Amino acid sequence: MEKIAIITDSCSDLKEEYRKENNIFVLPIQISCDGKTYRDGIDISSKEIYQLQKEHMLKTSSPVGQELFSLLESLKVNGYSHVIGIFLSAGISGTSNQMRLFSQSQEDLVCHIIDSKSASVGLGIIAIELAHYCQKGVTFEQAISYGEKLVEENYAYFSIDDLGFLQKGGRIGKASAFLGTTLKIKPILSFEKENGEIYVPSKVRGNKKVKSKLVELIEKHLEDHPHQKFALAIADGNNLEERNELEKMLKEKFPTFEYIIDGHVGAALSCYLGSGLLGVAIQFI
């Protein structure tokens, strides 16, 4: 019987309770600052990133190396025969491609890499739902097919206070058109389905309208998927009060959700998103 492990990276922003409950393995993204390297969520937190990025240029890199090698060896020892890796969108990160190349050298594990075309809890909820599916005892090929379907029916939206960090990190994609706009215009960002790059599907005037617009965007997807089961995810970056209000709005507006997860944006993503993020994702299942 195939024993399938689900691996993701720390940009999934999955809380420890979600990881343990769903048996998901998480690799920490590496963060570099002034010649020092830190592991996302282990050696450094998002709060520390907010302070560092005021004066320093921060860089991130994929968790390819001893951390990955040790995890794969541990999986073999624990009887896993197959691995599905689902990582940060290839449109803003090279992690998926690097993991794909590394997995080709594995002899005792059958590996497949899926591009999430998402980030943060948008990525995290794909990993959770895929783990739920694998717990049913499906085959490796069935799990791959379902994982790719999840990606296509996953929609994540987020708003941030400063696009400058995305620009400096070279991750801004088609959102660059909003760099010179007035501060009163707040872009809502998302990921293109074609290549996973960041783009701007909507915008609002002023911070107070962000939550309502996020709810509206989710509602449109539900109208396009009548009677289909769904789960929700909420993320924030040092924006807990707004996150709590958004959660209340979502629960009141869409009470038929299967489950809802939440997460705080971790150190790696905070390097490019800064403080003040508010986001939501819907996963059709």
Domain residue limits, the chain: 4-152, 154-284
What whole-number distance in Å separates Cα of residue 173 and Cα of residue 160? 15
The reported pTM is 0.94
Kindly report, residue by residue over 91-100, the tens digit of the pLDDT.
988 888 888 8
Question: CA-CA distance, 94 to 74, in Å (whole number)?
Answer: 24
What's phi and psi for 242, nearest 5 deg? -65, -40
Are 18 and 261 in contact by the 8 Å Cβ rule? The answer is yes
Task: Give the chain's mean pLDDT.
Answer: 92
Structure tokens at 52: 């560092």
Residue 28 has pLDDT above 60, yes or no: yes
Supply the pLDDT for residue 181. Answer: 53
- At residue 143, the pLDDT reads 98
Measure Cα distances from 176 to 47, 91, 214, 278 in Å.
26, 14, 21, 19
User: Is 1 a residue whose pLDDT tops 80?
Assistant: no
Q: 154-284, which class in CATH?
A: alpha beta
pLDDT digits (tens, 9 = 90+) for 193-250: 999 999 989 989 888 899 999 999 999 999 999 999 999 999 999 999 999 999 999 9
4-152 and 154-284 share one fold: no
Q: Which residues pair with 31 in a beta bridge?
A: 38, 60
CB neighbours of residue 17 within 10 Å: 9
pLDDT higher at 115 or 179? 115
The CATH T-level fold of domain 4-152 is Rossmann fold (3.40.50)
Residue 42 has pLDDT above 80, yes or no: yes
Note the residue count of the chain.
Answer: 285
Q: What is the pLDDT of residue 207?
A: 84
- Checking if the pLDDT of 170 tops 80, the result is no
At 171-188, the pLDDT tens digits run: 666 565 555 455 678 889
Provide mean pLDDT across the span 115-123.
Answer: 97
In 3D space, the residue among 165, 167, 176, 187 whose CA is nearest the CA of residue 271 turns out to be 165
